[in-house]
Structures are given as structure tokens and as C-alpha cells.
Chain A
Amino acid sequence: EAAVTQSPRNKVTVTGGNVTLSCRQTNSHNYMYWYRQDTGHGLRLIHYSYGAGNLQIGDVPDGYKATRTTQEDFFLLLELASPSQTSLYFCASSDDNSDYTFGSGTRLLVI
């Protein structure tokens, strides 16, 4: 079954720590996205990609890097985590018609 799988489901790190969030999709979609969801702000786009090796900057990219290693895998990197990055992170994939399939989310707490 086509799906978007995120790991880990929950993560706690300290301020200044290094965190990698992983996302794998089996939908054969070209597009993949990283969003963060915060109360009162909805879903805000961090980075996205059109395919392996491609990276596009989203609306709230500061403090985040991303890498698309294969068609299936998209990673979000926080190299110096800050408390302001405490959030619920969603990965999604889509084909050209923009219908998203979301992963189950990763809840990150930076203390």
C-alpha cells in the first residue's frame, strides 16, 4: 500500500543538539515536502523537492536543512536545534496534481 512513513514519531533533544527527521514514500511521487504545524499557524512549508537531488526553499526555512537522497527518501536536518523549533513536523508527497499524502508526523521537543 502506498504510504508516507516518518521516523521517529517522537523526539526530544537539547538546545544546540543535532536532529534528523526521516521520511520515506512509496507512492512513486516526484514531489516531497516538509511542513511544521503549530497552534494558530496552520501548516507552514519548510523545504520541498521535485525529485532526487533537488531542493527548494519553502516559507520558513531558517534553521533547517533538507536533503532528497532518492525518489523515496527526504530528510530534514536541524543542526543546532532551538526551543522555537519545538513543533509537530509533517512530511508529505504528491504527484503533479497537488493531492498530498501526509505522513503520521514527528513531534519534536527541544529543551
Chain B
Amino acid sequence: QQQVRQSPQSLTVWEGETAILNCSYEDSTFDYFPWYHQFPGESPALLIAIRPVSNKKEDGRFTIFFNKREKKFSLHIADSQPGDSATYFCAASANTGKLTFGDGTVLTVKP
């Protein structure tokens, strides 16, 4: 049973558009929800994270929206740039330090 589901598998947007990446989860005990990005040939790196005390977290052009009732969270990348092209992973953990990752979304931003 996959604990964290991510969609879409791939996404293409034009430069300047907002990219929206989605995740859902099963385990109600999850209480930490980060997003990682990974550029080709590199290791994943933390981009932004949220705890469910709030339903929104912003960091520059990156925003997480969190819906506890529906067990969903999404990453919005505003004013997308070609340099944002990467694979994005959502993840979740339940007070154990252990992250469960989604399968990833390959984002391509066309100039």
C-alpha cells in the first residue's frame, strides 16, 4: 500500500506560469510534509516543508497548501523559470524522522 501518492508523473509549463504539483497521504499520524527537488545527476535537496499547525507555507516563489481533512498537500511554483526544471518529491513522516516519499514529478519549464 503506497502511503504517499504524487501526481502528475510529469508536468510541462511555460516560463512565467504557475506549476502545481499534488500529493495525498494515507496515514493520519503523519505530521511533517516536506518537498524535495532533485536536478539531474544530483542528490535530492530540501526545498520547503510544512507542519499541519498551518495550512499554508510560503518561501519566495514556492508555496505549500495543506488540507488536513482531505489528506492532501500541494506545491505551487509561481513564475516558473527554466532553472526550476527538476524532479520534485513530496514526502511525509510521523514523528519518527523516517520520511516516506512519493514517486516524483518531473517538471519541465519551457522558455
Q: Which residues of A contact B (CB under 8 A)?
A: 30-31, 33, 35, 40-45, 48, 50, 56, 58-59, 90, 94, 96-100, 102-105
Contact = CB atoms under 8 A, between A and B. Distances in A.
26 contacts: A35-B101, A40-B103, A41-B103, A42-B6, A42-B103, A43-B44, A43-B89, A45-B98, A45-B99, A45-B100, A48-B98, A56-B98, A59-B100, A90-B43, A94-B97, A98-B34, A98-B93, A99-B46, A100-B36, A100-B99, A102-B43, A102-B45, A103-B43, A104-B42, A104-B43, A105-B43
Contacts of A41: 103
A98 B44 contact: no
B44 A102 contact: yes
B49 A42 contact: no
Contacts, number: 52
Taking residues whose C-beta sits less than 8 angstroms from the other chain, chain B's interface range is 20 to 34
Contacts of A43: 44, 89, 101
Contacts of A40: 103
Interface of B: 6, 32, 34, 36, 42-46, 49, 89, 93, 97-104
Majority secondary structure, B binding face: strand
A56 to B, nearest CB: 8
Given A42-B102, A42-B104, A98 B43 contact: no
Contact of B97 (A31, A35, A102, A103): A31
Contacts of B100: 45, 59
A71 to B, nearest CB: 15
Nearest to A31: B97
Contacts of B46: 99-100
Nearest to A40: B103
Contacts of A56: 98
B97 A96 contact: yes
A99 B45 contact: no
A90 B44 contact: yes
A33 B43 CA distance: 14
